[in-house]
Amino acid sequence: MLKPKKLAKKNFLSSFDMSTEEIEYIFEVSKNFKEKKLNFEFTNKVLGLIFDKSSTRTRVSFQVAMSRLGGTTIDLNPTTSQIGRGEPIKDTARVLSRYCDVLAIRTFNHADLEEYAKWSTKPVINALTDLEHPCQALADFLTIKEEFNDFKNVVLTFVGDGNNVANSLILCGALLGVEVRIACPKGYEPNEKVISKAREICKKKNLLQITHDPTTAVIGANVLYTDVWSSMGEEKQKEEKDKEFDGFTIDDNLIKKSNPDAIVLHCLPAYRSKEISDQVFESEKSRIFEQAENRMHAQQALLSCLLS
């Protein structure tokens, strides 16, 4: 019988905060939660959600995951707390960690998340920053594992902006030994530190490619993945980015060049006819809603480990 296992690191701020074995263990626990074979109890435990940006999936999947574990959630945002009035993070973090048992934080600057983690005595989870979205990557690779059973011959091509989602896919992919290709317009490459960390993990194997040509990047790929062209906070750049990302839509033309067994993933929310065509989004290749569901199972597994 599986038991919740303490992770080596207190926080989950980056995909790189877990070892390969820990990620595989999270997948195992997630699968068991999904099949309703596990019943870990965390009665009276409280998850604090601090969300400086909008969210549907992350917020709700964390709330439901916590409720399935027998715990409760407090949902905070800058307007309902003193955070919006400029109370220092170090004060908020010290107070909230005296009430809550774990905190999940969605904010802009990754450094702010690190500041919370520095001052909180309880585990802090990255629920998305401008740098990473590690909870998303856990659900993504869980979905890929369900489809292909293992990661041995998986080639994942991400077509779009090399920011938070792409950065976490790169790190998690490197830890799992997956070939990851990022096809992005010039100037939208993933974070350099993320790239070097991933290359360091892969050592001799050249598992990471960054390219500006989506057409060649999808050849032989079994997973095609995309995200919005304009992320939260980039509303003013939308028009400019729409032009720069022209040609980076996952549509039938790109699908035809990928492997016949290819599946399509999208972290959501999606903008049809921008980063993905409606036809592909609604096609039998899409595993987008399985992926969204897996956010909940993976986070239930993550919470159970962090609370152990």
Catalytic residues: 106, 133, 136, 227, 267, 295
Q: Which two tokens stand for residue 38?
A: 């596990």
Q: Which two tokens stand for residue 143?
A: 């979905």
Number of residues that bind ligand CP (CB under 6 A): 8
User: Does position 22 bind ligand NVA by CB under 6 A?
Assistant: no
- Quick one: 72 exposed, middle or buried, by C-beta within 10 A (0-12, 13-18, 19+)? middle
User: Does position 266 bind ligand CP by CB under 6 A?
Assistant: no
Contact 277, 251 (CB under 8 A): yes
Work out whether strand 208-211 and strand 179-183 pair parallel, antiparallel, or are unpaired.
parallel
Q: Which two tokens stand for residue 151?
A: 């990661």
Q: How far is the CB of 277 from ligand CP (least distance, A)?
A: 19
Task: Name which position in 11, 30, 32, 58 contacts ligand CP (CB under 6 A).
Answer: 58
Residue 226, binding choice from ligand NVA, ligand CP, none, Cβ under 5 to 8 Å by partner class: none
Q: Which two tokens stand for residue 188?
A: 């939208």
For residue 74, the number of C-alpha atoms closer than 13 Å in the C-beta half-sphere is: 16
Which part of the chain contacts ligand CP (CB under 6 A), choosing from 7-15, 51-59, 81-89, 180-188? 51-59
User: What single-letter DSSP state applies at residue 229?
Assistant: S
Contact 143, 154 (CB under 8 A): no
- Quick one: 148 exposed, middle or buried, by C-beta within 10 A (0-12, 13-18, 19+)? middle
Binding residues among 208-237 for ligand NVA as defined by CB under 6 A: 227-228, 231-232
- DSSP string for 117-151: HHH-SS-EEES--SS--HHHHHHHHHHHHHHHSSS
User: Does position 61 bind ligand NVA by CB under 6 A?
Assistant: no
User: Does position 55 bind ligand CP by CB under 6 A?
Assistant: yes
Residue 56, binding choice from ligand CP, ligand NVA, none, Cβ under 5 to 8 Å by partner class: ligand CP
Which part of the chain contacts ligand NVA (CB under 6 A), choosing from 6-14, 70-78, 163-171, 183-191? 163-171
- Per-residue binder mask for ligand NVA (CB under 6 A), 254-293, x = binder: -------------x--------------------------
Which part of the chain contacts ligand CP (CB under 6 A), choosing from 34-42, 55-63, 201-209, 242-250? 55-63
**Bridge partners of residue 266, in order along the sequence:** 226
Binding region for ligand NVA (CB under 6 A): 128, 163-165, 227-228, 231-232, 267
Binding region for ligand CP (CB under 6 A): 55-58, 128, 136, 267-268
